[in-house]
Chain A
Amino acid sequence: MAPVTLKKLVKRYGNVDVVHGIDLEVKDREFIALVGPSGCGKSTTLRMIAGLEDISDGVIEIGGKPVNDLPPRARNISMVFQSYALYPHMTVRENMGFSLKIGKVAQSEIDARVNEAAQILDLGKYMDRRPSQLSGGQRQRVAMGRAIVRQPDVFLFDEPLSNLDAKLRTQVRTEIKRLHNKVQSTMIYVTHDQVEAMTLSDRIVIMRDGYIEQVGTPDEVFKRPATRFVAGFIGSPPMNLNEASVADGKLIFEGGQSLPLPAEFRNKVAAGDKVIFGLRPDDIYPTGHGLNSGEATDVHELELPVSITEPLGNETLLFVTMAEREWVSRMLNPRAIAGGEVVKFSFDLSQAHLFSPETGKTLRS
């Protein structure tokens, strides 16, 4: 049980910085997800916390003590690898007990702890098998079991679900969440999948090109993205983001179509400003088929042609053309809509976001 603190953490390969002095405080027992596209530095950061990569500059503290120069074994951490990294020449039982055996723990204690972990993860049947005789999901559970058995201060997960098929992924995801509730350790979880990050974590760290874009609860990063990048990264399908310019209380899009300037931003922008306008698919819907229909406060209606429909059963995604761009709309309680049909859409502007095109930062604050 320990907090993890990163102070001005830098990773440099030759002359190239891949992590640019990031600061982060992970609280004790917190589940935090590092999320971002490939190459954003999230895995490198995790590996620095694990002690598998040297730290070029800055400090990492675990439990309040700097660990910069400690080898991985002295940090009391566990890590679940993307590749599982099970020892192929050992049985499941030996794999799980390996760390304790190395730590010269008494055999009776090893057995007790391994059996307990096996029970938590429902691995009892497979204890005498080799990793090669297990399915992907079972291997993943063994990898988690091996991590649990150590009773570490901090659990590190490096994209643990990306080798599983979609169905198994949701299952194991739930198991990881249950595990966190049970063992109550600090967990740091790296993923490129924003859904995993949203569903699992207490707080999300969104990284890009070696910088932290935003740290916040799933709700915060979803509802109040600090940057255009976060807005586009979190949420599925992604937020509609389009350039517009401000003119007397309106947002004028390319091609001349316009929307009223959302009330929240009236004092934040001036006429002539260029902005990036963002609106989630949930907040563009055929009138009467939206999430907030009825209670939405700042709704603007437009008649627009639908180009493509993607029915998903309980909802349908509609691709509509406005201002020479394709916008995605989410229709709840769907009715059949044919391609080319002109439909009246509600734009819930109370949920709109404006970002600066230069810095990418939100214009809200």
Chain B
Amino acid sequence: MDLNTSHRFKRRALKFAHLVGLFLAMLVICLPGLWIVLSSLRPTVEIMAKPPVWIPQELSFDAYRAMFGGAGQGGIPVIDYFRNSLIISITSTIIALVVGTAGGYAFARYKFKGKSGIFLGFMLTRAVPGIALSLPLFMIFARLGIIDTHFAMILVYVALNVPFTIWLIDGFFRQVPKDLAEAAQIDGCTLWQAFWQVEFPLAGPGIASAGIFAFLTSWNEYALASQITRSVNSKTLPVGLLDYTSEFTIDWRGMCALAVVMIIPALTLTFIIQKHLVSGLTFGAVKG
């Protein structure tokens, strides 16, 4: 075997090993998701079987039918939970983005007293585990009489997301060269116009990714929601999952079906926005 052949062989072997490694990693990541989807379609007997039944014998959409069948038929008010989740997540995401964009821009562009202190403060709020706040929040919200309302949940999620969106969006505005806003001002823009015409479109992909993050955080959050929501008034989907547990049984199939229903909007949104996350949009603005 000459040197060329042996090197070619080595390269192919490495590539093969690389692919196998990737496949195994993907398997670890995807299998639980796949298992949830499968479990939502199988009867409980099969789900609980030991040893596990790897190849499903019997698939049905019964769990989904029951879920949307409404309360009283063993179903759960999924539509209400879904609506609550949507209202709370979307509203809190929009507010977090507006505040995050304004704050991020200020941190990226302006000098002011205590800037680094405030920034550090924001980061430190993220260091507190959310669950540690649940009891104080519960007490305060109870006093205010806003337990079990959309408003309370939106408030919590905005507070949770704003430090992160500010931090993320600050980074994206920093990547937009200052010269561009100045050029826009010379071209006749007010500061407001320069922001909307030039800086915002360029930071747009970054703001969108901050949006995905904020939305997913609110959509998936369980710990705080489980304390502050009580009823169909404000229960979100993650809390709703718990409805499938009763004193003696857990309806695994139904729980998995609801989990699938939860995942779908999150996945869809991520896919839609991901298309706009074109990186390197600012390339070509400055320098050669």
A residues near B (Cβ < 8 Å) are: 50-52, 71-73, 77-79, 81, 83-89, 98-99, 102-103, 130-136, 139, 146, 150, 163-164
* 5 smallest beta-carbon distances between A and B, as pairs: A132-B284, A136-B288, A83-B286, A99-B187, A85-B179
- Contacting residue for B188 out of A73, A130, A131, A133, CB 8 A: A73
Within the assembled complex, what's the spacing in Å between the Cα atoms of A146 and B283? 19
Rounded to whole Å, the gap between the CB of B6 and the closest CB of chain A is 43
Q: Which residue of B lies closest to A83 (CB)?
A: B286
- Within 8 Å CB of A81, what residues of B? 179, 182-183, 286
Q: When the two chains form their complex, are residues B201 and A98 in contact, meaning their CB atoms are under 8 A apart?
A: no
Within the assembled complex, what's the spacing in Å between the Cα atoms of A23 and B214? 54
- Contacting residue for A79 out of B186, B190, B202, B284, CB 8 A: B186
CB-CB contacts below 8 Å: B184-222 with A: 184-190, 193, 197-198, 201-202
Q: Which residue of A lies closest to B283 (CB)?
A: A132
Within the assembled complex, what's the spacing in Å between the Cα atoms of A196 and B189? 31
- Contacting residue for B186 out of A78, A134, A135, CB 8 A: A78
B residues near A (Cβ < 8 Å) are: 177, 179-180, 182-190, 193, 197-198, 201-202, 281-288
Within the assembled complex, what's the spacing in Å between the Cα atoms of A72 and B179? 13
Q: When the two chains form their complex, are residues A87 and B283 in contact, meaning their CB atoms are under 8 A apart?
A: no
Q: When the two chains form their complex, are residues B186 and A84 in contact, meaning their CB atoms are under 8 A apart?
A: no
Q: Which residue of A lies closest to B189 (CB)?
A: A102
- Within 8 Å CB of B187, what residues of A? 73, 98-99, 102, 146, 150
Q: SS class of chain A's interface: helix, strand, loop or mixed? A: loop
Q: When the two chains form their complex, are residues A85 and B284 in contact, meaning their CB atoms are under 8 A apart?
A: no
Interface centre among A73, A88, A103, A132 (most CB of B within 10 A): A88
Within the assembled complex, what's the spacing in Å between the Cα atoms of A98 and B180? 12
Q: When the two chains form their complex, are residues B186 and A72 in contact, meaning their CB atoms are under 8 A apart?
A: yes
CB<8 Å pairs between A and B, sample of 18:
A71-B190, A73-B189, A85-B177, A86-B183, A87-B285, A88-B281, A89-B198, A89-B201, A99-B187, A102-B187, A102-B193, A102-B197, A131-B284, A131-B285, A132-B283, A136-B288, A150-B187, A163-B287
Within the assembled complex, what's the spacing in Å between the Cα atoms of A163 and B284? 13
- Within 8 Å CB of A73, what residues of B? 185-190
- Within 8 Å CB of B179, what residues of A? 81, 83, 85
- Within 8 Å CB of A77, what residues of B? 186
- Within 8 Å CB of B186, what residues of A? 50-52, 72-73, 77-79
Rounded to whole Å, the gap between the CB of B17 and the closest CB of chain A is 37
* Known contacts A72-B182, A73-B186, A86-B285, then 13 further A-B pairs from the complex at CB < 8 Å, ordered by chain A residue: A71-B185, A73-B187, A81-B286, A83-B285, A85-B285, A85-B286, A87-B180, A89-B281, A99-B187, A131-B285, A133-B284, A150-B187, A163-B287
Rounded to whole Å, the gap between the CB of B239 and the closest CB of chain A is 42
- Within 8 Å CB of B201, what residues of A? 89
- Within 8 Å CB of B185, what residues of A? 51-52, 71-73
- Within 8 Å CB of B182, what residues of A? 50, 52, 72, 79, 81, 85
Q: Say whether, besides A81-B179, A81-B183, A87-B180, A163 and B285 are in contact (CB < 8 Å).
A: no
Rounded to whole Å, the gap between the CB of B251 and the closest CB of chain A is 51
- Within 8 Å CB of A71, what residues of B? 185, 190
Q: Which residue of A lies closest to B176 (CB)?
A: A88
Within the assembled complex, what's the spacing in Å between the Cα atoms of A88 and B201? 10
Q: When the two chains form their complex, are residues A89 and B202 in contact, meaning their CB atoms are under 8 A apart?
A: yes
Within the assembled complex, what's the spacing in Å between the Cα atoms of A146 and B180? 13
Interface centre among B183, B197, B283 (most CB of A within 10 A): B183
- Within 8 Å CB of A134, what residues of B? 284
Within the assembled complex, what's the spacing in Å between the Cα atoms of A150 and B185? 13
Within the assembled complex, what's the spacing in Å between the Cα atoms of A306 and B272? 73
Q: Say whether, besides A73-B189, A87-B198, A79 and B285 are in contact (CB < 8 Å).
A: no
- Contacting residue for A83 out of B177, B189, B193, B202, CB 8 A: B177
Rounded to whole Å, the gap between the CB of A96 and the closest CB of chain B is 10
Interface centre among A51, A72, A81, A135 (most CB of B within 10 A): A72
Within the assembled complex, what's the spacing in Å between the Cα atoms of A139 and B179? 15
- Contacting residue for A88 out of B184, B188, B197, B202, CB 8 A: B202
Within the assembled complex, what's the spacing in Å between the Cα atoms of A139 and B288? 8
- Contacting residue for B183 out of A79, A130, A163, A164, CB 8 A: A79
Rounded to whole Å, the gap between the CB of B224 and the closest CB of chain A is 39
Q: Say whether, besides A52-B185, A102-B188, A88 and B193 are in contact (CB < 8 Å).
A: no
